[in-house]
A and B are shown apart, each in its own frame.
Chain A
Amino acid sequence: MARLPQTDPGITPEPVRAGIDVIVNNETYRHTGDPALPLLWYLRDVLRLTGSKYGCDDVSCGACSVLLDGKLARACELQMQNLSGRKITTVEGLAHPDGSLHPLQQAWLDEDAILCGYCQPGMLIAAADLLARKPDPDDADIDGIKNLCRCGSYPRVRRAIVRAASAIKGARK
């Protein structure tokens, strides 16, 4: 194949488009579309980060849970126009960049907290939020997780959270 010149002097580069800069899993993206676009559809339809799931229309299921500046939020009720400069972590961003799993993800595997698996990304995010607030959660704290699972994974999710909490504590010692 013939080598192409690196830049074509006949083409003027497109001016930088105005938009909303958001940081998703430590990468900065510029959203140039509808400012009212819910974050969920930005993640799923634009970035194709499909780990955050769609599951309801009344902010009741938690399948789209993300961390917004480290705190639990539902991507379906966040609009892009309110997210400029904000840091979003989705389930895809939970693992360490080197590929090693977050202690919660490892605990989920160890407890086989799966069933159909559709709600689990949201559960993991809710659990990450819980452990950030309560490093040593008791049953009542875990009961505060409002994410829905019809398959009935709750007892294993509960055990996985306790397991991850103790793994994180152990690693800190």
Chain B
Amino acid sequence: MSNAHDAARRRFLKVLGTASGALIVGMQLPALADTPDALLGDMLLRLNPYVRIQPDGTIVIGARDPEVGQGIRTAEARIIAEELDADWPRVIVLPMSLGVEDDGAGEPHWTLGHQEARGSTGVPAAWSDLRAVGATARALLLSAAAQTWNVGQRGLRTQSGKVIAPDGRTLDYGALAAAASVLPPPAAPPALKAPDAYRLIGQDAGDVDARDIVTGRQQFAIDQWFGGALVAVIARCPYPGGSLRKLDDTQARALKGVAKILVMPKPDLSLPLGSRPLAAGVAVLAEDTWTALRARDLLNIEWQPGAHAARDDDALATQADALFDAAPTTPVRGDGDYDHARRLAHRAAEARYQIATVAHAELEPPNCLVRLGDDSAEIVAPMQNPRGALEVVQRLTGLAPAQIEISLPRSGGGFGRRIDNDHIAEAVLLAKAAKKPIKLSWTQSDAFAHDPYRPFALIDLAAGLDRKNKITAWRQRVASTSRLAKRGEPQNRLWLSELHPDDPPAGLIDNLQLDWYALDSALPRGNWRAGSHGINAFAVQVFLDEIVHATKQDGLQMRLNLLGAPRQLPYRGHGGPVLDTGRLAYVLQLAADAVGWSKKRNDGHGLGLAFHFTYGGYVAHALEVSMDGAKLLMHKAVVAADLGRVVNPLGARAALVGATLDGLSTALDLAITVKDGRIAQKGFKDYPLAMMAQLPRDVQVILVPSQELPTGAYEMGLPSAAPALANAIFAATTVRVRQLPILPELMRLL
């Protein structure tokens, strides 16, 4: 940890060391991209790659991470502004491009540190290195003020964009920027603020792009153009691994405005998923979107299904059932002796949970704008993993890292879809072949048919209890298609994305066995919000509820008993190195209190509880539901969360509410199914994201005040939402739903 921290500071200071000139590598603000350096020097003064100060005191902060709705631009700018003591109303936040230079051996050297949207890591990373950015800029401004006034630095202080002398004189940062920008950087990283001096961190801040969004000015990637770009749409083979058998493009070619029809061969399967196109296809390049779409409809194509046909959920369930009779692909964890403890148990419980395949369904479908020159490439696309994108562009163009400019516009949702860069690969391949700038557009139907899905899984849980109803044996068997499959990972590592070996109740039960079974699916599998935390939390938290009811215990007390005395358990993997059972118990208690758990009810409403630990965040959900005939009503939803120190509570609340509603919407009625070897869903009519009327009108958020390191917020609110809903439904109806999505199964069982 401290090594990474030091490395980050060294990297930062190294970049800063090159700062005495007019321009610093890495800070490429789109708004100023065409401004000559000399002019820029007059207008804006850079203190480091992230901070520029205008003579009028306006402070431009560069936000490095891709924004997908998690609020990272706002949060990381607040972190820098805090240590800089900036006057927030005078701060402008602009997105930075991918910071990369050549390391001299043709490999990329990343100049801006963390630049991805993945695993809710943006805020923790910013916390570890961007505070020093603000503090360093502030130190330079203090030195400049001391020089200007010809006084020592000791008595000087800063506040809201001003340096203040002991005698009360003040100098605005804008007036000091010119002098500060030519000073050498401090020899050692300046001291960071003590938390009790924070004025911005821990206070609410609205999204920095909000004004542009509500006026329609925010430019998502899909809204951008290059001069002379051709719009490309691709007819992709609907069968996984399939290929083109026959193409007649006569009619499409005849359409006015169509420039080219290009065949995209079957992707090279030796390349990892996410770095190559998902499917073979035929691309139509046209002058505008409408023409391209019409021409695509006029293509006459016969597809050849692949050798490995996509199977529907029933076939996968049968496959998974059979797998459970054999040895696991990977035994993940074994504590004590499960079989022995199960035989000795006073009472046993067993249940299987089936999780449907889901898609990403982000409102802005994949798209990519690309312009290639002899020695340059420019990419504008919704992205969560721009470094991966750079590697794709490098491989396809042979360009050096510094010749590739990757812009990171705000994305219309991400949810893990944009960790994969298949859209980048498609667009670059087309731009190469057409020798023209390309604006690749996916339709939403394309995105349903071709997605790195979160695929089908079957989770088998079994437990043994002693006479006092204490769980003494626990076995969790997960059959799923690994997210790491077809991504260059060795077989013995594929379980890593499917089961978290230290997730509760691991560590809480003496005899415990966790096994993973590889399920073979032809569908591509990718990252989906909160990864396998979502599916495992559903099974575990519903199974605990089944034990509660089978043994007639109180659902809250039983879970608190399971968590036991507050203590730290080792936690390997993202979110570790420890898990504090006390923090988990506390959020559970808060959620239960807020929903009125202890109050006796006779109104037919049911309450449900669930908790989960995700990427360092402790979260519990409580739901109150009832049935009105066949209609499910959600009366109350509570999410209680301990996310460590929260940089922007307004943003964290939005993320928690959003993840809760996303979790509920997905759990209600969303499933991707296979019919005749291809995906059956074509749009939101077949894949009904919940509308306003179907979700709770409000979600009560309880944020635990904390001095612990910040964890981020975006994914933590998802995993425990669905099981809390299923548990509340059971309480209201005595119908136990062991499937996602819930509604079709509930209607069948009612």
* A residues whose Cβ falls under 8 Å from a Cβ of B: 34, 37-38, 41, 44-46, 48-58, 60-61, 63, 90-92, 94-95, 101, 104-105, 108-109, 112, 114-121, 124, 139, 142-158
A152 contact from B204, B217, B445, B658, Cβ within 8 A: B658
Check if A112 sits within 8 Å of B216, measured CB to CB: no
Rounded to whole angstroms, the CA-CA distance of A109 and B206 in the bound complex is: 7
Rounded to whole angstroms, the CA-CA distance of A91 and B654 in the bound complex is: 23
Between A and B, 13 residue pairs with Cβ closer than 8 Å are A50-B220, A51-B215, A55-B365, A56-B683, A58-B684, A104-B214, A116-B412, A116-B413, A121-B213, A144-B693, A150-B413, A155-B697, A155-B699
Rounded to whole angstroms, the CA-CA distance of A58 and B696 in the bound complex is: 26
* B91, chain A: closest CB distance, angstroms: 16
With a cutoff of 8 Å between Cβ atoms, the chain B residues found around residue A57 in the complex are 443-445, 682-683
Check if A116 sits within 8 Å of B662, measured CB to CB: no
Interface size for chain B: under 10, 10 to 19, 20 to 34, or 35 or more residues?
A: 35 or more
Check if B682 sits within 8 Å of A117, measured CB to CB: no
Rounded to whole angstroms, the CA-CA distance of A44 and B292 in the bound complex is: 14
* A46, chain B: closest CB distance, angstroms: 8
* A67, chain B: closest CB distance, angstroms: 13
B216 contact from A54, A58, A91, A152, Cβ within 8 A: A91
Check if A58 sits within 8 Å of B685, measured CB to CB: yes
Check if B657 sits within 8 Å of A152, measured CB to CB: yes
Which of A91, A104, A118, A145 has the most B CB atoms < 10 Å from its CB?
Answer: A118
Rounded to whole angstroms, the CA-CA distance of A125 and B662 in the bound complex is: 23
Rounded to whole angstroms, the CA-CA distance of A50 and B216 in the bound complex is: 7
Q: Pick the interface stretch among B260-268, B356-364, B574-582, B583-591.
A: B356-364
Quick one: given A120-B213, A150-B362, are A41 and B289 in contact (CB under 8 Å)? yes
Quick one: given A117-B207, A152-B662, A154-B661, are A51 and B412 in contact (CB under 8 Å)? no
Quick one: given A57-B444, A143-B693, are A152 and B659 in contact (CB under 8 Å)? yes
* Residues of chain B from 170 to 228 with CB closer than 8 A to chain A in the complex: 204, 206-207, 209-211, 213-220, 222-223, 225
Q: Mark B445-485, 1 if CB is under 8 A from A, else 0.
A: 10000000000000000000000000000000000000000
Check if B684 sits within 8 Å of A151, measured CB to CB: no
With a cutoff of 8 Å between Cβ atoms, the chain B residues found around residue A148 in the complex are 363, 684, 689, 691
Quick one: given A56-B683, A94-B215, A148-B684, are A158 and B207 in contact (CB under 8 Å)? no
- With both beta carbons as reference points, the residue of chain B lying nearest to A153 in the complex is identified as B658
B364 contact from A41, A55, A112, A146, Cβ within 8 A: A55
* A52, chain B: closest CB distance, angstroms: 7
Check if B69 sits within 8 Å of A151, measured CB to CB: yes
Check if B654 sits within 8 Å of A156, measured CB to CB: yes
With a cutoff of 8 Å between Cβ atoms, the chain A residues found around residue B684 in the complex are 56, 58, 60-61, 148
Check if A115 sits within 8 Å of B69, measured CB to CB: yes
Q: Which 3 A-B pairs have the closest CB atoms?
A: A51-B216, A116-B69, A118-B412
B698 in contact (CB, < 8 A): yes
With a cutoff of 8 Å between Cβ atoms, the chain B residues found around residue A153 in the complex are 654, 658
Check if B682 sits within 8 Å of A112, measured CB to CB: no
Rounded to whole angstroms, the CA-CA distance of A115 and B216 in the bound complex is: 15
With a cutoff of 8 Å between Cβ atoms, the chain A residues found around residue B69 in the complex are 114-118, 151
- With both beta carbons as reference points, the residue of chain A lying nearest to B205 in the complex is identified as A112
Q: A60-B683, A146-B692, A158-B697 are in contact. List 13 more A-B contacts (CB 8 A).
A: A41-B290, A91-B215, A92-B217, A109-B210, A112-B206, A116-B363, A117-B218, A118-B363, A118-B411, A118-B412, A139-B697, A150-B362, A152-B695
Check if A112 sits within 8 Å of B215, measured CB to CB: no
Rounded to whole angstroms, the CA-CA distance of A78 and B688 in the bound complex is: 23
Check if B699 sits within 8 Å of A55, measured CB to CB: no
Check if B662 sits within 8 Å of A151, measured CB to CB: yes
With a cutoff of 8 Å between Cβ atoms, the chain B residues found around residue A45 in the complex are 231, 288-290
- With both beta carbons as reference points, the residue of chain B lying nearest to A159 in the complex is identified as B698
A52 contact from B216, B231, B288, B683, Cβ within 8 A: B216
With a cutoff of 8 Å between Cβ atoms, the chain A residues found around residue B372 in the complex are none
A56 contact from B216, B444, B660, B661, Cβ within 8 A: B444
Quick one: given A38-B290, A112-B206, A148-B684, are A154 and B443 in contact (CB under 8 Å)? no
With a cutoff of 8 Å between Cβ atoms, the chain A residues found around residue B365 in the complex are 54-55
With a cutoff of 8 Å between Cβ atoms, the chain B residues found around residue A145 in the complex are 691-692
The SS class assigned to the A binding surface is loop
- With both beta carbons as reference points, the residue of chain B lying nearest to A60 in the complex is identified as B684
Quick one: given A45-B288, A117-B410, are A108 and B210 in contact (CB under 8 Å)? yes
- With both beta carbons as reference points, the residue of chain B lying nearest to A56 in the complex is identified as B444
Check if A120 sits within 8 Å of B214, measured CB to CB: yes
Rounded to whole angstroms, the CA-CA distance of A44 and B288 in the bound complex is: 10
Rounded to whole angstroms, the CA-CA distance of A66 and B658 in the bound complex is: 25
Check if A63 sits within 8 Å of B363, measured CB to CB: yes
Quick one: given A51-B215, A90-B216, A101-B215, are A150 and B415 in contact (CB under 8 Å)? yes
* B238, chain A: closest CB distance, angstroms: 15
- With both beta carbons as reference points, the residue of chain B lying nearest to A41 in the complex is identified as B290
Quick one: given A55-B363, A63-B363, are A155 and B214 in contact (CB under 8 Å)? no
Rounded to whole angstroms, the CA-CA distance of A46 and B225 in the bound complex is: 12
Rounded to whole angstroms, the CA-CA distance of A5 and B219 in the bound complex is: 39
B68 in contact (CB, < 8 A): yes
Rounded to whole angstroms, the CA-CA distance of A46 and B362 in the bound complex is: 25
Rounded to whole angstroms, the CA-CA distance of A157 and B654 in the bound complex is: 11
Rounded to whole angstroms, the CA-CA distance of A118 and B658 in the bound complex is: 14
With a cutoff of 8 Å between Cβ atoms, the chain A residues found around residue B146 in the complex are none
* Residues of chain B from 116 to 168 with CB closer than 8 A to chain A in the complex: none
Check if A49 sits within 8 Å of B216, measured CB to CB: yes
Rounded to whole angstroms, the CA-CA distance of A94 and B213 in the bound complex is: 12
With a cutoff of 8 Å between Cβ atoms, the chain B residues found around residue A105 in the complex are 214-215
Rounded to whole angstroms, the CA-CA distance of A116 and B364 in the bound complex is: 10
With a cutoff of 8 Å between Cβ atoms, the chain A residues found around residue B207 in the complex are 112, 114, 117
A117 contact from B213, B659, B689, B698, Cβ within 8 A: B213
Check if A155 sits within 8 Å of B413, measured CB to CB: no
Rounded to whole angstroms, the CA-CA distance of A104 and B415 in the bound complex is: 28
Check if A54 sits within 8 Å of B222, measured CB to CB: yes
With a cutoff of 8 Å between Cβ atoms, the chain B residues found around residue A34 in the complex are 290
Quick one: given A45-B290, A109-B210, are A155 and B657 in contact (CB under 8 Å)? yes
Check if B412 sits within 8 Å of A157, measured CB to CB: no
B363 contact from A37, A41, A150, Cβ within 8 A: A150
Check if A124 sits within 8 Å of B214, measured CB to CB: yes
* B409, chain A: closest CB distance, angstroms: 11
With a cutoff of 8 Å between Cβ atoms, the chain B residues found around residue A56 in the complex are 444, 683-684
With a cutoff of 8 Å between Cβ atoms, the chain A residues found around residue B410 in the complex are 116-117
* A149, chain B: closest CB distance, angstroms: 7
B650 in contact (CB, < 8 A): yes
B665 in contact (CB, < 8 A): yes
Check if A152 sits within 8 Å of B214, measured CB to CB: no
Q: Mark B24-64, 1 if CB is under 8 A from A, else 0.
A: 00000000000000000000000000000000000000000
* Residues of chain B from 412 to 462 with CB closer than 8 A to chain A in the complex: 412-415, 443-445
